């Protein structure tokens, strides 16, 4: 049963518990809590429990846990024939954790003529801090030495919580995502979280998972030890210039 409104979180208390995600509102789908902060402790606690922040400038911090959840299995990204050919040609160089700040700022740039962005300066700073602590990671796609696409997210245990991606040339973010999925499969990751259902995510291979099942999987996968040294040892691939 849904509550009449979201829970208010006290600011400055990173240890304040989130409510049960099953109490999230049905409309707007998944709104669970308001307030709090974006400290590393709170963010990691949120992700472990299937919760993520999503809000715009001028709003308080909003915390979400939608039902169903868009997820990917690392062993089954959707790779159409045209993308397979592009990957074989190796036109892009794909790296990890080489340009996290550049990637997140590119993801924050306005798109399709829209002036606003959901990635506030506060959020950018928070995820750069998580990256510095070794919890947030980026995948970069380069061509002729220029960053042309990429994505970033948070890794806990054997789950990668995807946050955003961008492309400056056609298919660059898709190439980055396929490389990510393949590496995560090799590291025995169990899930990639895509958060909210969208046609774009479906085109990449996302499926809908009931929130209850998603939370149960997180309880197991987030408790597993991470792949030791994996992100530091990500192999450069392709011939797209110097990264």
Q: What percent of the chain has pLDDT over 90?
A: 75
Per-residue pLDDT for 52 more than 90?
yes
Residue 236: predicted pLDDT = 73
Which residue in 223, 129, 137, 227 sits closest to 180, CA to CA? 137
Which residue in 109, 125, 108, 201 sits closest to 162, CA to CA? 201
H/E stretch holding 135? none
Q: Which residues contact 119 (CB under 8 A, 6 or more apart)?
A: 104, 107, 108, 164
Q: Give backbone dihedrals phi and psi of 137, rounded to 5 degrees, phi first.
A: -140, 155
Which residue intervals of the chain bear CATH 3.40.630.70? 70-233
pLDDT, average across residues 68-93 = 89
Is this structure's pTM higher than 0.75? yes
Structure tokens at 94: 């794909």
Per-residue pLDDT for 63 more than 80?
yes
Structurally, at CATH architecture level, domain 7-67 sits in 2-Layer Sandwich (3.30)
Residue 112: predicted pLDDT = 61
**Tally of CB atoms within 10 A around 220:** 12
Which residue in 75, 73, 97 sits closest to 230, CA to CA? 97
Lowest mean pLDDT among 73-77, 113-117, 209-213: 113-117
Q: What percent of the chain has pLDDT over 70?
A: 93
pLDDT, average across residues 17-41 = 95
Q: Give backbone dihedrals phi and psi of 139, rounded to 5 degrees, phi first.
A: -120, 130
pLDDT, average across residues 152-166 = 97
Which residue intervals of the chain bear CATH 3.30.70.3550? 7-67
Position with higher pLDDT, 192 vs 243: 192
Taking the C-alpha atoms of residue 157 and residue 134, their distance in angstroms, rounded to an integer, is: 12
Position with higher pLDDT, 107 vs 112: 107
The domain defined by 70-233 carries CATH number 2.30.29.30? no
Taking the C-alpha atoms of residue 180 and residue 87, their distance in angstroms, rounded to an integer, is: 13
Q: Which residues contact 166 (CB under 8 A, 6 or more apart)?
A: 103, 106, 107, 109, 149, 150, 151, 173
CA distance to 95, 124, 187, per residue, from 229 (Å): 15, 25, 10
pLDDT, average across residues 97-121 = 83
Per-residue pLDDT for 117 more than 80?
no
Per-residue pLDDT for 227 more than 70?
yes
Per-residue pLDDT for 206 more than 90?
yes
Q: Is 17 helix (H, G, I), strand (E, B) or coil?
A: coil
pLDDT, tens only, 180-204: 999 999 999 999 999 999 998 999 9
Residue 130: predicted pLDDT = 98
């Amino acid at each position: 049963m849904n509550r009449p409104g979201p829970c208010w979180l006290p600011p400055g208390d990173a240890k304040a518990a989130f409510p049960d995600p099953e109490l999230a509102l049905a409309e707007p789908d998944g709104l669970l809590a308001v307030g709090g902060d974006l400290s590393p402790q709170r963010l990691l606690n949120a992700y472990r429990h299937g919760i993520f922040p999503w809000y715009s400038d001028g709003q308080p911090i909003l915390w979400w846990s939608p039902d169903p959840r868009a997820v990917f299995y690392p062993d089954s990204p959707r790779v159409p024939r045209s993308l397979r050919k592009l990957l074989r040609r190796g036109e892009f160089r794909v790296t990890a954790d080489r340009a996290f700040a550049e990637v997140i700022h590119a993801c924050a740039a306005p798109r399709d003529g829209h002036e606003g962005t959901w990635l506030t300066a506060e959020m950018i700073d928070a995820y750069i801090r998580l990256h510095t602590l070794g919890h947030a990671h980026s995948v970069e796609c380069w061509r002729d030495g220029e960053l042309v696409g990429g994505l970033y997210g948070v890794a806990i245990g054997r789950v990668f919580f995807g946050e955003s991606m961008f492309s400056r040339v056609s298919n660059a973010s898709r190439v980055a995502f396929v490389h990510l999925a393949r590496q995560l499969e090799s590291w025995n990751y169990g899930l990639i979280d895509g958060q909210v259902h969208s046609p774009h995510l479906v085109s990449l291979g996302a499926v809908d998972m009931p929130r209850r099942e998603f939370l149960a999987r997180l309880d197991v996968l987030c408790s597993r030890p991470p792949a030791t040294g994996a992100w530091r040892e990500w192999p450069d691939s392709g011939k797209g210039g110097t990264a």
